[in-house]
C-alpha cells in the first residue's frame, strides 16, 4: 500500500493506473490511426467537453488521447532518441495535475519529493525559500530562517521571472525549483519583481547546505521583567516535542509573557499545529477540516495543556501560512493570544501527500480548514490585532519593530518607557 503522509486514502488508484498504463503501452498492439481518429473525434464531439469530469468520463475516455499522442510521437517525431520514457511520463503527470488550476495540488518527481521530505526534517541544500505558482507566476511565500535566501534579502511576495538570465514564464514550478537548486558554494541569480521596487532587479544567492531548527527558544531579560521567546520555523515531525521542551524550561522563570514567532513559517503538518495549540489551551476546538463530502471534521485540544495562564503574543507576517495560521487562528479565536504583525498569507487548504512507485509523489488538496469561529483563511488570512510593519530595509539593518511591539505589549499600562507600546489597528 502506498505510504500517505497525511490521512489514509486509496483514491489515487486511477492516477497510478494511468502511469502504469503508459509504461506498458509499448507492449500493446498498434492501433490503426483511423480508429484512433474516431476515438478523438468522439472525445471532442461531446464526451470531452469542458463540462465533463473524470467521474462521468471513466468508461468512455479510456485515456485514448494520451495513448494517441504517445503513439503519434513514437511514429513521427524527427528525433526518436529524444523520446525518453521517464521524462515523458513525468511531463504527462505534471501537465495533468497542473491543468486542475490548484497551485497546491502538484506532482513531485523523485528529486522534488526527496527535497520536500528533507525540508520537513529540517536539512536542506540550496537557497532555502518556499515557492508557489500563483496566477502562472512563481511567487515567494517565505525565505526560511537562516537560509541563504533570507541572508540575500529575498522577501515574501517576490515574483521570480528568470533564473540565471533564463526566462521561466513557460516552466512549471518543479522545473523552476530544479533550476534554482544546485551544489553548495555555487551561485544562482534570480530576477525579481517586487511591488515596492519600480524595476525588476537581479538577486545573487550562494547555495549552501543548512539546517533549519524546528524550534528556537530564549528568555529575553528586560529591566521590567523577563519575556519568553519561541520561534517556530516549521511544523515538522518533532516540532511539538521540541516546543514542549523549551516551554518546560520557562516554567520557573517568572515570565511576564511568552512570544510565539511564526513569521516566515510556511507551515507543515496539521497534527503538529493541533498539538502545539493544545499546550496553551485548556479546552475547545483548534481547527475544522471541511472535505468534499460529509460534515466538517473538528479537531479539539488533546487535554494535556502545559501553560494556560501566561500571557501570549503570536507574531505573524505575510510569510506565515498553513499550520502557522491554524495555530494563530486557534489562539486568537480562544482569546488566548494577541496577534501582532502583518496579515498572514491566507493558505486555507490542506494537502495530502501520496507516495508513488519510483520515488515520486502526488500532493493533493483534499480539504479546506476553518478557524474555531468559522473563518475561511483562504479568503483573508489571519488579521493581526495590532498591525506593525517591518520593511526590507529594517530587516537588512537588523531592526525588528514587530518584536519590539510584542515586547512592549506585555508592559502596557505599567508606565515603563523601555519598549513603547503600539496602539491597536483601526
The residues assigned a catalytic role are 322, 333, 347
The sign of the dihedral angle between the CA atoms of 404, 405, 407, 412 is: positive
| Interacting residues of 237 by C-beta distance below 8 A, sequence separation 6+ | 120, 121, 269, 272
Binning the chain into helix, strand and coil, the percentages to the nearest 5 are: 35, 25, 40
The answer to whether 130 and 212 are in contact (CB under 8 A) is: no
Neighbours of 24 (CB within 10 A): 8
Q: 155 by DSSP, 3-state: which?
A: coil
Pairing of strands 285-291, 297-300: antiparallel
The answer to whether 131 and 173 are in contact (CB under 8 A) is: yes
Cα–Cα distance between 22 and 19 in angstroms, integer? 5
Give one DSSP letter per residue of 121-148, joined into a string.
HTEEEES-EEEEEETTEEEEEEEPTTSH
Give the distance from CA 309 to its chain's centroid: 31
Considering only CA atoms, which of 331, 366, 336 is closest in space to residue 348? 366
Cα–Cα distance between 103 and 378 in angstroms, integer? 13
For 196: left if phi > 0, alpha if psi spans -120 to 50, otherwise beta; the answer is alpha
The answer to whether 362 and 337 are in contact (CB under 8 A) is: no
Give the distance from CA 398 to its chain's centroid: 26
Angle (CA) 373-374-378 rounded to 5° is 125
DSSP label at 181?
Answer: -
Grid cell digits, residue 173: 514550478
Amino acid at each position: 500500500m502506498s505510504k500517505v503522509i497525511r490521512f489514509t486514502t486509496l483514491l489515487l488508484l486511477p492516477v497510478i493506473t494511468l502511469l502504469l498504463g503508459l509504461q506498458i503501452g509499448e507492449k500493446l498492439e498498434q492501433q490503426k490511426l483511423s480508429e484512433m481518429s474516431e476515438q478523438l473525434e468522439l472525445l471532442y464531439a461531446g464526451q470531452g467537453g469542458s463540462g465533463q469530469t473524470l467521474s462521468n468520463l471513466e468508461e468512455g475516455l479510456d485515456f485514448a488521447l494520451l495513448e494517441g499522442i504517445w503513439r503519434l510521437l513514437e511514429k513521427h517525431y524527427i528525433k526518436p532518441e529524444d523520446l525518453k520514457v521517464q521524462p515523458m511520463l513525468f511531463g504527462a503527470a505534471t501537465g495533468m495535475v497542473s491543468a486542475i488550476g490548484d497551485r497546491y495540488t502538484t506532482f513531485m518527481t523523485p528529486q522534488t519529493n526527496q527535497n520536500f521530505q528533507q525540508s520537513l526534517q529540517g536539512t536542506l541544500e540550496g537557497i532555502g525559500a518556499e515557492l508557489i505558482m500563483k496566477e502562472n507566476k512563481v511567487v515567494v511565500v517565505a525565505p526560511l530562517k537562516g537560509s541563504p535566501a533570507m541572508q540575500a534579502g529575498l522577501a515574501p511576495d517576490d515574483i521570480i521571472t528568470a533564473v540565471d538570465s533564463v526566462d521561466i514564464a513557460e516552466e512549471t514550478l518543479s522545473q523552476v525549483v530544479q533550476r534554482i537548486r544546485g551544489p553548495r558554494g555555487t551561485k544562482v541569480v534570480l530576477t525579481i519583481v517586487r511591488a515596492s521596487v519600480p524595476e525588476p532587479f537581479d538577486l545573487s544567492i550562494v547555495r549552501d547546505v543548512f539546517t533549519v531548527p524546528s524550534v528556537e527558544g530564549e528568555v529575553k531579560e528586560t529591566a521590567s521583567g523577563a519575556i519568553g521567546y519561541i520561534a517556530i520555523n516549521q511544523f515538522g515531525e518533532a516540532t511539538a516535542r521540541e516546543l514542549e521542551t523549551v516551554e518546560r524550561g520557562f516554567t520557573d522563570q517568572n515570565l511576564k509573557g511568552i512570544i510565539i514567532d511564526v513569521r516566515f513559517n510556511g507551515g507543515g503538518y496539521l497534527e503538529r499545529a493541533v498539538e502545539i495549540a493544545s499546550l496553551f489551551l485548556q479546552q475547545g476546538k483548534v481547527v475544522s477540516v471541511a472535505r468534499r463530502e460529509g460534515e466538517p471534521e473538528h479537531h479539539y485540544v488533546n487535554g494535556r495543556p502545559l501553560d494556560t495562564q501566561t500571557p501570549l503574543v503570536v507574531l505573524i507576517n505575510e510569510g506565515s501560512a498553513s499550520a502557522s495560521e491554524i495555530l494563530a487562528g486557534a489562539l486568537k479565536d480562544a482569546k488566548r493570544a494577541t496577534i501582532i504583525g502583518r496579515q498572514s498569507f491566507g493558505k486555507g487548504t490542506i494537502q495530502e501527500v501520496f507516495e508513488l512507485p519510483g520515488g515520486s509523489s502526488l500532493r493533493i488538496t483534499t480539504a479546506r480548514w476553518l478557524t474555531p469561529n468559522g473563518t475561511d483563511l483562504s479568503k483573508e488570512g489571519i488579521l493581526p490585532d495590532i498591525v506593525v510593519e517591518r520593511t526590507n530595509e529594517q530587516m537588512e539593518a537588523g531592526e525588528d519593530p514587530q518584536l519590539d511591539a510584542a515586547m512592549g505589549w506585555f508592559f502596557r499600562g505599567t508606565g515603563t518607557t523601555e519598549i513603547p507600546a503600539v496602539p491597536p489597528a483601526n
